[in-house]
Structure 1
């Protein structure tokens, strides 16, 4: 997603076992690279699932977001922490203040030392966190990625906010509908190595190849690093460098809010269309003053809630992460694990002036 909650991020999707560098604050520690650890792959799928096993009491889990100061990540993680209380466990959020590729590694090492039952991570980089995550699995610590995935072999389950393909393609359609399918467009992403952002962008680029979008040209992919000020400056730079720009897609809650703030106070308001992923509370002002017509997102609270229950089901032996296994996720009901250990929360919601006041997150 990645998405931030200073400004809500648009709907669309859940997490990553090796990329949870989004936002958690914890202490450091060093660990050897265990990419060659012979026990790690076996640990990922070891054991036989017992769907009737009760959830263990007293489970200790930790959320490791891309960055702890990301408003979107805070909503996700707080919901997961609250869910842990429902099943008699305890949870916390730890993580870095920046979303660099390796910023989450020391936190993973510390959580291993603290013997948590499960680590839930929104990965900043799908590969940078793999070594320590494999070491965690070798020590029978379950790994759940959410929002931004790790490499599949580095986690047990990935909780995806929505289908990555659906998110990417729907973003293009949303913008095309607003600009009449014609004009230069740009993408304002989070970090260049963010797994979820890059996957969505891949599907956006593929969607743009369709004949109905032949009048639209992607001229630039910019990166605001999920930093409010940098995203603001990148928006300014895009509009100055490409005077014929008709639209911007920003699939990150931090980026779309910063872009909206710049456009709102500039000569481009009403001339350049902005859409992407944001939260209703973050984007309400810009929808109501006409800066933004519509954007998307899923409910981040449900994302954190589902990830928390998945971690509990893994730690209790109800599931191992294999395709076809099912588990109960509290108020969200029964969920089924799909291909590559992926569990999809559901389709994103489009927010506009007609419905935005019905949502508060």
Structure 2
């Protein structure tokens, strides 16, 4: 994590390594995708080529989450292996908004396109054309169909995210339980939909029998729409006890609405957010806890993966290993997936240790 001091960083990294969330029962039984297994291929031995053009294409630019992942993570990595970094993309998240940017990057001879997909299918045609033209494609945060890219950098297992979100809202609401709702990003977001389905599976467990999911709404990763959707949820469900928003834009907008309303302290909120977005709301009691991985590490890992692909050090085949700079060695798992790690929980006791 981007802690404010070197000591803080060391503590944060140690916590992130050790803190695997007791609730991630499903995730903890998976074979970790992020570290080399005994006997794994050593295809990653070698050096990344200098001068590679690496472009990041987030769901939307001017989003604090993607600013951290791209400009504070991906850019750092690309500069380390002496490549040429750029970020481009739409100002609003929509299924087809990224297509024209992919086409332009392909025409510019970009070596690596790192993209967070607004829709798993809508950009596939453009990505395939870019790959045919010679670009390597790495997805991060939100995947396409596996056939459309070379490697997907998964920020955390879907099971782990779902389990952590349900555990946090359950703890915040308390033993009495009650009605809860989900404020998501776009209706087509691959990662959001996977998490939501697994949250439903998690809610079916006996320990969450008193929690009832009554609605799922979409803020389209737009601050004002997410704010309005929060307001709408509370008007539609007067007995609502909690909201989960597994999107950085959504959870911050929901917190802003709750903090200035009669529902502060009465309706609980959790989700996936950054410390800088959520600090004020944690300190004023609007939010007890929320979770996230380190977005800068996600972008950093995505850049190194793209560099390894474009340098011929890996191909995206299961079992291949490569070194991702300061993050160390990683292994490509099934379906060309690389797992960054487990989500981390932020509370009033630790939030000031982080600055991103």
Per the alignment, residue 147 of structure 1 pairs with 141
Per the alignment, residue 55 of structure 2 pairs with 62
> Which of the numbers 57, 60, 70 marks the counterpart of 1:77?
70
Deviations 1:43-70 (A, max 9, x none): xxxxx98433321111001000001121
> Which of the numbers 189, 192, 195 marks the counterpart of 1:194?
189
Per the alignment, residue 118 of structure 1 pairs with 112
Deviations 1:52-91 (A, max 9, x none): 3321111001000001121111111112012101001111
TM-score normalised by the chain length of structure 2? 0.87
> Which of the numbers 87, 91, 104 marks the counterpart of 1:93?
87
Per the alignment, residue 22 of structure 2 pairs with none
User: How many angstroms does 1:180 deviate by?
Assistant: 2.2
The reply to whether residue 257 of structure 1 matches residue 252 of structure 2 is yes
What is the alpha-carbon distance in structure 1 between the residues aligned to residue 320 and residue 300 of structure 2? 19
The reply to whether residue 319 of structure 1 matches residue 303 of structure 2 is no
What is the alpha-carbon distance in structure 1 between the residues aligned to residue 268 and residue 351 of structure 2? 18
Per the alignment, residue 297 of structure 2 pairs with 302
Deviations 1:158-195 (A, max 9, x none): 00111111001210111111212510000000000011
Structure 2 unaligned spans of 5+: 1-15, 17-40
> Matched residue of 2:276: which SS?
helix
What is the alpha-carbon distance in structure 2 between the residues aligned to residue 50 and residue 288 of structure 1? 47
User: How many angstroms does 1:275 deviate by?
Assistant: 0.2
User: How many angstroms does 1:300 deviate by?
Assistant: 0.8
What's the C-alpha RMSD, in Å, of the aligned pairs?
1.3
> Which of the numbers 224, 227, 230 marks the counterpart of 1:229?
224
Query: Counterparts in 2 of 1:1-361, with a 5 A limit?
Result: 50-78=43-71, 79-181=73-175, 182-361=177-356
Whether the 8 Å contact between 2:43 and 2:321 is mirrored in structure 1 is no
Whether the 8 Å contact between 2:169 and 2:270 is mirrored in structure 1 is yes
What is the alpha-carbon distance in structure 2 between the residues aligned to residue 279 and residue 51 of structure 1? 32
Whether the 8 Å contact between 2:255 and 2:287 is mirrored in structure 1 is yes
What is the alpha-carbon distance in structure 2 between the residues aligned to residue 137 and residue 72 of structure 1? 27
Whether the 8 Å contact between 1:49 and 1:318 is mirrored in structure 2 is no
User: How many angstroms does 1:249 deviate by?
Assistant: 0.1
Deviations 1:29-54 (A, max 9, x none): xxxxxxxxxxxxxxxxxxx9843332
What is the alpha-carbon distance in structure 2 between the residues aligned to residue 69 and residue 85 of structure 1? 21
Deviations 1:84-117 (A, max 9, x none): 0100111100001111100000000001100111
> Matched residue of 1:281: which SS?
helix
> Matched residue of 2:216: which SS?
strand
Whether the 8 Å contact between 2:44 and 2:323 is mirrored in structure 1 is no
Whether the 8 Å contact between 1:156 and 1:320 is mirrored in structure 2 is yes
User: How many angstroms does 1:328 deviate by?
Assistant: 0.3
Number of residues paired by the alignment? 315
What is the alpha-carbon distance in structure 1 between the residues aligned to residue 273 and residue 236 of structure 2? 25
Structure 1 unaligned spans of 5+: 1-11, 13-47
